[in-house]
Structures are given as structure tokens and as C-alpha cells.
Structure 1
Amino acid sequence: MTDTAPTGESTILGHPRGLMTLFFVEMWERFSYYGMRALLILFMTAAITKGGMAMDDATATAIYGLYTAGVYLTSLPGGWIADRLLGAQRTVWYGGLIIAAGHFTLAIPSHTTFFLGLVLIVLGTGLLKPNASSMVGDLYPEGGSRRDAGFSLYYMGINLGGFLGPIICGLLGQQLNWHYGFAAAGVGMVLGLIQYRLTRRSLGQAGAHALPVHDDAGRQQRFLKNAWKVLWLGVAAVVVVVGLGYAGIVTYAPVPLALWSGLFILLLGLGFLAWLFVYGKLSTVEKKRLAALTILFLVQVLFWAGYEQAGSNFNLFAERYTDLQVFGYAFPAAWFQSENSLLILLLAPFFAWFWVWLGRRKLDPSTPMKFALGMLFIGVGFLVMMGAAWIVVAGHKVLPTWLALTYLLHTVGELCLSPVGLSATTKLSPRRYASRLMGTWFLFMALGDLLAGLIAGRFSAHDVGEMPRIYLTIAAISIGVGVVLALFSRLIKRRLIGEEVRIASGGH
């Protein structure tokens, strides 16, 4: 491996020019995603007289959970489409077009197009998100620290978009018109597509073509024919499901749908892991590491169930119970959604350095211990929210510092758990099942998002007195899981993992 650019490669600041293409397309995609997400729950629960949909909290948060879970679930077929049919470059392009169409559909001032817009964004994000990331790796066939630095720059683009989206879309959506905010998200995606189209040639062969499954041309042709049939059947199924809802033939109740979807995902994930244990022909060492991964998968479900309160429950808390006046200016509640991305931009380099610094002194916490720290930070964040809730129960609005501190604690928890979990999945997975187990990581992440929506639905604007108790319950579960995991972390590392898993940097 080398840490320098191959001879003759066109570079910018020592990196392939294609990195800038992917940096900006991902920045604008995250701008659109987080910008719209910052408005979503507020728009659904706003009164009709204020341009909203007047949904109750339980229904709105269940829809939010289904939406965020769907984004991760569709990344699995999105990766398959790129690998087997279109290649990553074309898949990203089509994904961006579908995302933009979804945002502009939301921008239509009609409630009948609302769910269609969400479906389009979910499908488009599933095509774009995983494949843009995979092309970053393809730009660095030599590997080495230059590749790590390239991913770090790429993650800066992700978080820069995540920071700017809620600020701009939140300002337009909350202070002018909800649909202006949704339109701004669409414009952001279009800007990303324009620069992608103009600079796409800089990607070269990275993601240019799908990967053949068979060496034999005849077998490969038959495979492609069948694969296209599967794809179009999938598209037809989506059209039918959406069409039945719009025709009024089938009624989709969001809360039961979220419950049944969560149960299905849980059984699917555990069923696949059980199949690997029994029929995967794994060695004893591989089975032990798979057992460790199973523990980490289940812990992350609880982590994301707490963390994803940010866009639902915390967003409503900011709108309803937080004094948003600063120096005489009332800022939009959606602006709180920018804090996580800003904190990651500031803190991720520190954490990357800190883990390495500890490692050199043989003090680096084990992977299970880092997961435990992630759960503890999530739990402490909910203790802060319990304190804020008591102030609300007493009849007062709280200062923005309560939410700001909670987001800080949760972001630190994310940096302890999320990048470490991705690294552990790649390094603990049996090589021949690595891609499927990475998909399983995202499957359980989707389950956590669904659970987050259902938990957020337990809060009610009509029963404020219950807020402290619910926050305390979430905090107790999170801290309890963190403590148990910390107590058994050495045993898990010694008996199951066997070797340490390290991570240099991360993002989201």
C-alpha cells in the first residue's frame, strides 16, 4: 500500500478529482435529507390553520419512524442494483433524480401528495446513499492512509450538508411556508445533480459498471435478464402498494404498520443470524465472533431508538416547550437539528486522535466498552431531558441550553458507538458473509429508527405530566444496558472477539 497518489493521476490537494464530485453530491443530498427531516414532524403535527396536517403525535412519530427506517432498508436493494445492474455511477444519478422529485412533490401544497413524496425520497436515498460511499473507496485502489483521509473529507461533506440543510430549510419552512422549505431541499438536490453531471467524468472507472456474477457470457446474460425482471417486479409492487392506499382500497394505519414492520425486521435479522450459526459452515472462532456481533447489533437497536428522538420528540419539545428567543430574535425550532452535524465536524477529528492516543498507551477501550459508553451518554442525555421536563411540568418554558446539552451528550455517544460498530462489523464478520452482515447492521439500525418513532409517540402534548417519567424510563434502560455491557465487556472481548477492533475516524 502507498500513501501517495499513483503516477499520472489528476488530483486536488493530493486526492483524486472524483472525490470532490462525490463530496458535493453527498453534501447536497444530506442538505436535502436533513433539511426536510427537520421540518417533517413539525409539519405533520402543525394545525391546519398553520398549514400543517394536524396529526396526533403518535401517528406523526410512527410515520417518521417508518420513513427513517425505510431509508436504511432501501439501501440494501440499492446496493444490489448498482452491483448487479447499473453500476454505482448511474445508480447515484437516478437516485438523485428520484430524491429531487420527492422533495418537489412535498413542495406541492396538497396533503394528497405528501406520502408519495416520502416514498420517492426513501427510494431515491436507497439508490444514492450506499453507492456514493462505495465509489469513494473505489477511487483509492492503493489503500493506505490517503484512503482514510479521503473518507474523512467525504464525511465532512456529509456533515456540512447536514448542518446547512436544517438552517436554510427550517428558516424558509417555519417562518414563511412549509412547502418553501421542502422546495429548498429539492433545489439543493438539483444543485448536487448538476455538479455531478458536469464533473462525473472525473470518477473514471470507479463505479462505472456493474460487477459480473458469472464468467460465462451465456450464464451472465441469463442472470441479467432474471435480475431485471426482479427489479421491475419490485417497482410494480411499490406502485401497487402506493396505488391501493391512494385509491382507498387499503388503509395503512401508521402505528400498527410500524409495530408489525419492526417485528418483521427483528425476526428477519435474528433469523439470518441463526441461519449463519447453524448452516453457515463457520469455524468455532467465526461463531464466537458472530455471537459478539449479535450482541452489538441488538445494543445498537436500543441506541438508535434513543438517539433518533432528535428528529421527532426533541423537535416537538423544541417547538412547544423551549424559549427560542435569543437577543430578541425567535429562531426556528428546526435549527436544533443542525447541532449534531456541527458537533461531529468539531469532535470527530478529536475522537480519531483520542482513540489512537489511548491505543499507543494500551488504554484504548475495547469495542464492547465503547458501545457501553455510547449507551451511557445516551442515558445521561435523557436524564438532562428529565430535568427539562420537570421545568415544563411546573408551567415554564426551558432555555435552549437544555436541548443543546442533550444533543452534545448524544453526539458523543454516537462517536463512541457508530463508527466503532461499522468497523467491528467489517472486521468480525466471516469474510464470505461480510456484505450481508453489513446489511444486517443497517437492518437493525432501521429497527432502532422504527422503535424510536413508537417511543416518541408515547409523549403527548395533552399529558405533559408524563414526560419526566418517560424520559427517566428511557434513561434507566440506556444506562442499565451500558452498565451491564461495561461489566461484561472484558469477557466479551476475551471469549468472543479475541482481538481488538480499532477505528480511526467516523461520520454518519
Structure 2
Amino acid sequence: MTSEAATISAAQEEKTFAGHPLGLINLFCTEMWERFSYYGMRAILVLYMVTAISDGGLGMTNQEAGGIYGLYTMSVYLSALPGGLIGDRVLGARNAVLIGGIIIALGHFTIAFPSLQTLYIGMGMIVLGTGLLKPNMSTMVGMLYKPGDTRRDAGFSIFYMGVNIGAMLAPLACGYFAQADEFKRWLTTIGMSPHMSWHWGFGAAGVGMVFGLLFYVLQGKLLGDAGLRPTGKKEPQPVVEIAEEAAHEAKDATETTESSKLTKEEINRIGAIAVLFVFNILFWAIYEQGGSSLNIFASKCIDCSIFGWKFPSTWLQTFQAGFIIMFAPLFSMLWIKLGEKQPSAPAKFSIGILLLGLGITLMVPAAMLAKSGLVSPFWLISVFLLECLGELCLSPVGLSTVTKLAPARFVALTMGAWYTSISIGNFVAGKLSGFFDENNLDGMTTLFGSMGGAAIVAALVMLCMVPLVKKLMGSVR
């Protein structure tokens, strides 16, 4: 993305909401509903795939479902790279978000029709749509502020709060339609099969995206001229030309590196990023069990009832985003209060991975208790709590550190590589979840114990590497 061109429109600063441009309201709500659609589908996707055909599912094995889940979530992250380029050079961010949102909604509605073919087609559409929407949405947030505007960071914090609100609400709504016994009984009363409930859940995700699109279009005036025109070129280019230009730019970047040579300091900093890259993959490979193996565990082994009333197991996933909303401001205040005394970036990584490892290790006694019956949901809630605390130590720190360490001429390329590490982690997560078998509780304890042990060992290794990584980082904290 070209940040300089993005600042042409300062989006009517004379009119503000809570001290921020009015356009932030539009983007906040649009992103909230887009994330509602994504996390709504995420909450029920694996469960739908592994549910028996006689119960309305696809009857897949955990290994098959995990592989598809991992490939899908990986593709969502990777699609942002070409999507951002298309928004920059062809469509403009404003149109890219609109077209992406429409494709996402159509993808969810396609999955609402029951068949394996519609699942694959719908998932492909969501990947394409998300690739267009996500990077260009963030770009437009930046366009709302002039260069050097001190409100920018706070604006992004507000924007990402919308992400977590959508992620928190999605499992409640989509999970209810997909799993709730009351809703299945209602379907029966109107002459529909209760097994269609899964597809109502997918449809609800699509409706959420439609809500976001309506707000985006009807309140588009709040955005001023932000994102109306492509910033990379004055005239739109065919997609083939864009691909060719991207190849030329990659070649030029390589030639630039060879001719100008990276300085020793830049090489050291890239080395620090490489270390964090590896540990980032491991973190997300375990964290993303929340949508796969932990999701199945909740469905099969958790006592999802309160005073005799059974609630959908997917509702437990709302705690992940809920804890982020609850603790993110506290972590922000903590780092500010500690100031120069706060842990370094690699030390925070170590803490984050350790918390993740402790969290997933709690699944070992939970799995052992499952041998004698359903277990309390507080086990899984505790896992999510520790994992989210770990995420707050690692995820925002990683993004910030990479932008500071990357050579100025390769910031975009380095950020793309960083998101690639997250996509690889998601893919590995799907593969790992394939080893989960709710009918083999001994194997389950081994799986979760291995994940927890690997994370704890990795945290200790990262801790030992802190001095080295800090040395590679140089003056960057």
C-alpha cells in the first residue's frame, strides 16, 4: 500500500466523533459485520464437516475436516497480498471493499445450500472476497488521517475493537441457528428438516455481511473521498498487467538488494525478524485449535448446559474475542506504565508462547476427566483466557516490531512475509487438528500434552535467545 497517496483525503476532520473522523464509524461497523460473517462461519465449519450425513453434516473424518480448515484459513491470509495490490492499482480501496464484501456475502449464501460442491465454491468465494476487503479496509482507515496525525494509532485501536466485537457476537448468533435444539424444533414446525440448521447458520453469516455492506454504502458519505481512486497508477490497468508489474517489482527489489547491498544493521534486523517468524508460526498453529480440535472437544466432551438448559457448544468461542476486548486496554496501559522497564519484544514473545503453552496444557486434565463423562466448560474457558493473554503479548507486539525492524524500502514485503507466517501457522493448525480423535481419549491427552510441551519448550528457547535477538535488533526495542 502507498501510504503517502492515501493521505490525500483527511476525511472531513472538521466533523468528528469522539475526536476521530466520522469515516471511522463507517469502517468500524463494516469491519465488525465482516468479522461477524467470518467468525460465524469459523465457529460451525469444522463441526458441520465432521457431523454425520444422517444428521445433516458431511460425514468427514477429523483429518479431512482439519486439512480443509487449515487450507481455507491459510488462503484467507494469503489472498490479502494480491487483494491489496488490486485495490492499490486497479479498483481503488473503496470499490475493492464493496466488491469484496459482495463476494463474501454470496459465498456464505452459497454454503447455505447443502452440498459438498457448494461448500467448496462458497469457501473459494469467501477467500477471494476477503482478499479484496481486508487489506483495503485497513488502508482506508489510514486514509482518514493526515501524515503525523497523533490520533492514527488510537483510530486503528478503535477499528480493531470492531473486529473483536464481531468475532464475539458471531458464535452466539450463527451457533444458535446451527446447533440450538429450540431452533431445530422450530424448523420442524414449519415443515423443514432440523438438519438444515447448519445452513441457517451459514446463511446468518451472510446476512451479517449484508448488514455491513448496507451500512458501508448508505453511510459512504462519511468517508469523504477516501479510497475512491487507485493510488498506484493514474489509469486503471488490466489484471494481467498488474501481475506482470508485480513480477517486475519483485525483480527490481532483488536487483536493488544485490546492487545496494543490505547494511550489516539491516541484515541483523532481518535475522531478528526471521527468529520471530518461526516462533510466530508455532504460536498460531496451536492458537487456531480453537476453531478445530477444541471446537470438536467442546461439542463432544463439554457439558454445555446451565440449570438443565443446553446451549450451543459454539457459544464457548465467544470467550476468545471477549477476553481480548476485556484485557487489551489493560495491557496497553501496563506497557505505558512500565515505559522503559517493560519487557523487550522477544521477551514478550516468550511470555506469550508460555501462556499459550500453559493454556493448551490445561486440556490434558480436561481430556482425562472426559473419560468418566462430560467435563465443565470452565476448562475450555480457562484455556481461552490464557491463550488470549498470550495473544496480547505476541500478536500486536509482532506487528509493531516487524514494521520497526524492516528496511524502509522493504516494509511492505516484510509485512507480507509476516502475514505469511500466520497463514502457515493456520495451515499447520489444520493438520494438527487432524490427529484429534474424540473416541481416543488417551491419544487426545497425548496430542494436547505434546502441543503444550512444545509451546513451553519453545518459550524457554525464546527466552534464552532474548539477548541474541535484542543484539540483532540493535537500537529497536
Residue correspondence of structure 1 range 352-391 to structure 2 within 5 A: 352-359=332-339, 362-391=340-369
1:162 aligned partner: 167
Does structure 1 residue 407 correspond to structure 2 residue 370?
no
Contact 1:95 1:123 survives alignment (8 Å): yes
Distance 1:327 1:279, change over 3 A: farther
Moved more, 280-289 or 160-169: 280-289
Distance, in Å, in 2 between the alignment partners of 1:316 and 1:114 is 19
2:430 aligned partner: 453
Q: Which amino acid aligns with 2:399?
A: L
- Pick the aligned partner of 1:464 from 441, 460, 476: 441
1:496 aligned partner: 472
1:257 aligned partner: none
Q: Which amino acid aligns with 1:304?
A: W
1:162-194: CA deviation from partner (whole Å, max 9, x where unpaired): 111110000011123001111111111001101
Per the TM alignment, residue 75 of structure 1 is displaced from its structure 2 partner at its CA by 0.4
Q: Which amino acid aligns with 1:440?
A: A
Per the TM alignment, residue 337 of structure 1 is displaced from its structure 2 partner at its CA by 1.5
CA RMSD of aligned residues (A): 2.2
Contact 2:12 2:22 survives alignment (8 Å): no
Does structure 1 residue 342 correspond to structure 2 residue 308?
no
Per the TM alignment, residue 205 of structure 1 is displaced from its structure 2 partner at its CA by 2.4
**Tell me, what secondary structure is at the counterpart of 1:310?**
helix
Per the TM alignment, residue 116 of structure 1 is displaced from its structure 2 partner at its CA by 0.3
1:239 aligned partner: none
Distance, in Å, in 2 between the alignment partners of 1:339 and 1:212 is 41
Using structure 1 for the length normalisation, give the TM-score. Answer: 0.84
1:241-267: CA deviation from partner (whole Å, max 9, x where unpaired): xxxxxxxxxxxxxxxxxxxxxxxxxxx
Distance, in Å, in 2 between the alignment partners of 1:444 and 1:8 is 37
Does structure 1 residue 486 correspond to structure 2 residue 463?
yes
Distance 1:275 1:172, change over 3 A: farther
Identity of aligned residues (%): 45
Per the TM alignment, residue 7 of structure 1 is displaced from its structure 2 partner at its CA by 8.6
Per the TM alignment, residue 274 of structure 1 is displaced from its structure 2 partner at its CA by 10
**Tell me, what secondary structure is at the counterpart of 1:124?**
helix
Does structure 1 residue 33 correspond to structure 2 residue 38?
yes
1:396 aligned partner: 373
Per the TM alignment, residue 279 of structure 1 is displaced from its structure 2 partner at its CA by 7.0
- Pick the aligned partner of 2:277 from 297, 300, 308: 297
**Tell me, what secondary structure is at the counterpart of 1:309?**
helix
Distance, in Å, in 2 between the alignment partners of 1:101 and 1:397 is 38
Distance, in Å, in 1 between the alignment partners of 2:21 and 2:351 is 36
- Pick the aligned partner of 2:399 from 413, 418, 422: 422
Does structure 1 residue 310 correspond to structure 2 residue 290?
yes
Contact 2:11 2:21 survives alignment (8 Å): no
Distance 1:275 1:331, change over 3 A: farther
Per the TM alignment, residue 499 of structure 1 is displaced from its structure 2 partner at its CA by 2.3
- Pick the aligned partner of 2:454 from 464, 471, 477: 477
Distance 1:404 1:199, change over 3 A: same
**Tell me, what secondary structure is at the counterpart of 1:460?**
coil
Moved more, 365-374 or 102-111: 102-111
Per the TM alignment, residue 13 of structure 1 is displaced from its structure 2 partner at its CA by 2.1
1:254 aligned partner: none
Distance, in Å, in 1 between the alignment partners of 2:364 and 2:475 is 39
Q: Which amino acid aligns with 1:491?
A: L
Distance 1:395 1:282, change over 3 A: same
Per the TM alignment, residue 464 of structure 1 is displaced from its structure 2 partner at its CA by 2.2
1:335-368: CA deviation from partner (whole Å, max 9, x where unpaired): 1111111111110000000011111xx3210110
**Tell me, what secondary structure is at the counterpart of 1:390?**
helix
Distance, in Å, in 2 between the alignment partners of 1:292 and 1:277 is 18
**Tell me, what secondary structure is at the counterpart of 2:14?**
coil
- Pick the aligned partner of 2:212 from 180, 188, 192: 192
Does structure 1 residue 117 correspond to structure 2 residue 122?
yes
Distance, in Å, in 1 between the alignment partners of 2:271 and 2:113 is 48
Distance 1:275 1:51, change over 3 A: farther
- Pick the aligned partner of 1:282 from 251, 262, 273: 262
Distance, in Å, in 2 between the alignment partners of 1:277 and 1:483 is 35
Distance, in Å, in 1 between the alignment partners of 2:315 and 2:145 is 36
Per the TM alignment, residue 11 of structure 1 is displaced from its structure 2 partner at its CA by 1.4
Residue correspondence of structure 1 range 72-111 to structure 2 within 5 A: 72-111=77-116
1:48 aligned partner: 53
Contact 2:11 2:22 survives alignment (8 Å): no
Distance, in Å, in 2 between the alignment partners of 1:157 and 1:316 is 27
**Tell me, what secondary structure is at the counterpart of 1:443?**
helix
Residue correspondence of structure 1 range 106-255 to structure 2 within 5 A: 106-175=111-180, 176=184, 177-213=197-233, 224-225=236-237, 227-229=239-241
Q: Which amino acid aligns with 1:192?
A: G
Count of residue pairs brought into register by the alignment: 447
Distance, in Å, in 2 between the alignment partners of 1:279 and 1:439 is 23
Distance, in Å, in 2 between the alignment partners of 1:170 and 1:231 is 40
**Tell me, what secondary structure is at the counterpart of 1:308?**
helix
Distance, in Å, in 2 between the alignment partners of 1:81 and 1:351 is 36
Distance 1:456 1:280, change over 3 A: farther
**Tell me, what secondary structure is at the counterpart of 2:291?**
coil
Contact 1:85 1:228 survives alignment (8 Å): no
Distance, in Å, in 2 between the alignment partners of 1:163 and 1:327 is 23
Distance, in Å, in 2 between the alignment partners of 1:275 and 1:477 is 39
Contact 1:369 1:486 survives alignment (8 Å): yes
| Structure 1: unaligned runs, 5 residues or longer | 214-219, 235-272, 502-508
Per the TM alignment, residue 66 of structure 1 is displaced from its structure 2 partner at its CA by 0.6
**Tell me, what secondary structure is at the counterpart of 2:362?**
helix
Distance, in Å, in 2 between the alignment partners of 1:56 and 1:328 is 31
Contact 1:140 1:147 survives alignment (8 Å): yes
Using structure 2 for the length normalisation, give the TM-score. Answer: 0.90
Does structure 1 residue 444 correspond to structure 2 residue 421?
yes
Per the TM alignment, residue 12 of structure 1 is displaced from its structure 2 partner at its CA by 1.7
Per the TM alignment, residue 145 of structure 1 is displaced from its structure 2 partner at its CA by 3.5
Per the TM alignment, residue 203 of structure 1 is displaced from its structure 2 partner at its CA by 1.1
Distance, in Å, in 1 between the alignment partners of 2:32 and 2:285 is 25
